[in-house]
Amino acid sequence: MKASAFAYARATSVANALELLVLHGEKARVLSGGQSLIPAINLRLVAPELIVDISDLKELRGIAVKGETLVIGALTRHADLLKSSDIVKCAPLLKAAVAHVAHPAIRNRGTIGGSLAQADPASELPACMLALGATIVVRGPGGERRIAAEDFFTGIYETKLAPQDLLVALELPVARKGSAHFFQEFARRHGDYAIVGLAAQALLQGDRFADLRLGYFAVGDKPVLAKAAGRLTGVAVTPALLAEVSDALSDELDPQQDQQATPAMRRHLAKVLLRRSVATLLNRPDLQAGATA
């Protein structure tokens, strides 16, 4: 299929992009990497009247460490994340996750801001934002806002972004000493969206978790920061405790049915990932045994 007709404007600055968005409202769509938007346009699933192309805005690109904060420009591409030494140092979870995003040619165009704004509940990066405790920086007609990742994602393809808003950057706390991460997803093929995935960020103190943030994806209408993880911090994790937490996780999730999996399947896989992540992060192979009681 061929795209419906639309007008095209190449934004010259963030201010210019915001002006265009205010002017055209919901009839306009922001084009950053285009790796989700253009397929939808080609399939005539969306037919915007105006495309506001922000992909040339250099001010939105780049990775910088500012004190204890890692700032990633919205137009930073997946390929840039993979190659960045700052990412390896400050947020290695992201690198682990991005390797699972689609394929090289897609990663050369797709951007982190685009991925977060798209808010596909099965995509990797939104869950990473939850696990990493990111702040999403948004600019709109009323100026700049900072939204905690936990509040940012509101539903399937839905976020706190209004049609006139632009996601400009995200801020992550730099990984502290004692940090560890775990990333795994169950996808049918390399690069596919996951059936269930987990992006986990931990702070270890001896043989215990001082902090554990489990960002699940493809388990509901938006990424989920599992509350059950709290019960694993500051205590010695036993198989019995893990089993309890596993049940609590199962209760907490509200997965959807689709062609890949039933809700029961997703709950099951989420529990498998819980055990695998805890066993790996604590280096306790014994916790993984009998993963699926």
Partner 1 sequence: MSSIRSNPETLSVLDRPNSYIGKTVPRPNLDRLLQGRGTYVSDMELPRMAHVAFLRSPHAHAEIVSIDASAAKQMAGVIAVVTGKELSAVITPWVGVLSHLKGLKSAPQSAIAIDRVCWQGEAVAAIVATSRAAAEDAAEHVAVEYREIEAVTDMRTALDPATPVIHASLGDNLAWERVHDAGAVDEAFAGSDAVVEAEFIFGRHTGVTLEPRSVVADWNAAEARLTIYQGTQAPHMVQNIAALHLGLKESQVRVVCKDVGGSFGIKVHIYADEMAIYALSKLLRRPIKFVADRVESFNTDIHARDHRCKGKIGVKRDGSITAFEIDDLTGIGPYSMYPRTSAIEANQVVNLVGGPYTNKNYRARARVVYQNKNVMCQYRAVGHPIACSVTEGLVDLAAMKIGMDPVEIRRRNLIADDAYPCGSPSGLRFEQLSHHASLAKIVEMMDYQALRTEQAALRKKGVHRGIGIASFIEVTNPSAAFYGVGGARISSQDGVAVRLDAQGSVICQTSITEQGQGSESLTAQIVGSVLGVSMDRVRVILGDTDMTPYGGGTWASRGAGIGGEAALQATKILRKNILDVAAVILQSTPAELDIAGNAVVNVGDGAPRIELNELARIVYFRPDTLPPGIQPELMATKHFVPREYPFAFTNGVQAAWVEVDTDSGFVKLLKHWVVEDCGTIINPQLVDEQIRGGVVQGLGAALFEKCIYDERGQLTNANMADYLVPMSGEMPDIDVGHVVSPTRESELGAKGAGEAGTAGAAAAVTNAVNDALSPFGTIITEIPLTPQVILTAMGRI
Partner 2 sequence: MTAQVSITLMVNGERVEAQVLPRLNLADFLREQLKLTGTHVGCEHGVCGACTVRVGGEIVRSCLMLAVQVDGAEVETIEGLSDSGEIADLQDAFRDRNALQCGFCTPAMLMAAQDLLQQNPAPAREEIREHLSGNYCRCTGYQAIIDAVENAARARVGRTA
For partner 2, the binding residues (CB under 8 A) are: 1-10, 31, 34-35, 38-39, 41-43, 50-51, 53, 55, 79, 102-106, 108-109, 189-191
């937490």: which residue's tokens?
Answer: 245
Given the rule CB under 8 A, which of 7-15, 26-34, 88-96, 185-193 is the region that contacts partner 1? Answer: 185-193
The 10 Å Cβ neighbour count of residue 63 is 20
At residue 254, the 3 state secondary structure works out as: coil
Q: Binding partner of residue 272 among partner 2, partner 1, none, CB under 5 to 8 Å per kind?
A: partner 1
Using rule CB under 8 A, residue 194 touches partner 1 = no
- CA-nearest of 47, 8, 54, 48 to 28 is 48
Least CB distance from residue 176 to partner 2, whole Å? 32
H helix and E strand count, the chain: 11, 14
Q: Binding partner of residue 53 among partner 1, partner 2, none, CB under 5 to 8 Å per kind?
A: partner 2
| Cα of 122 vs its chain's centroid, Å | 9
Q: Which of 31, 224, 237, 272 binds partner 1 (CB under 8 A)?
A: 272
Nearer to partner 2, 8 or 293 (CB): 8
Least CB distance from residue 189 to partner 1, whole Å? 5
The gap between the terminal CA atoms of the chain, to the nearest Å, is 48
Least CB distance from residue 275 to partner 1, whole Å? 8
Helices (H), 166-262: 239-252
Question: In whole angstroms, what is the distance from residue 26 CA to residue 40 CA?
Answer: 16
Given the rule CB under 8 A, which of 84-92, 217-225, 241-249, 259-267 is the region that contacts partner 1? Answer: 259-267
Largest interatomic CA distance in the chain: 61
Task: Give just the sign of the alpha carbon dihedral 246, 248, 251, 252.
Answer: negative
Q: Binding partner of residue 209 among partner 1, partner 2, none, CB under 5 to 8 Å per kind?
A: none
Site residues, partner 1 (CB under 8 A) = 1-5, 43-44, 186, 188-193, 195, 259-262, 264-265, 267-269, 272, 289, 291-292
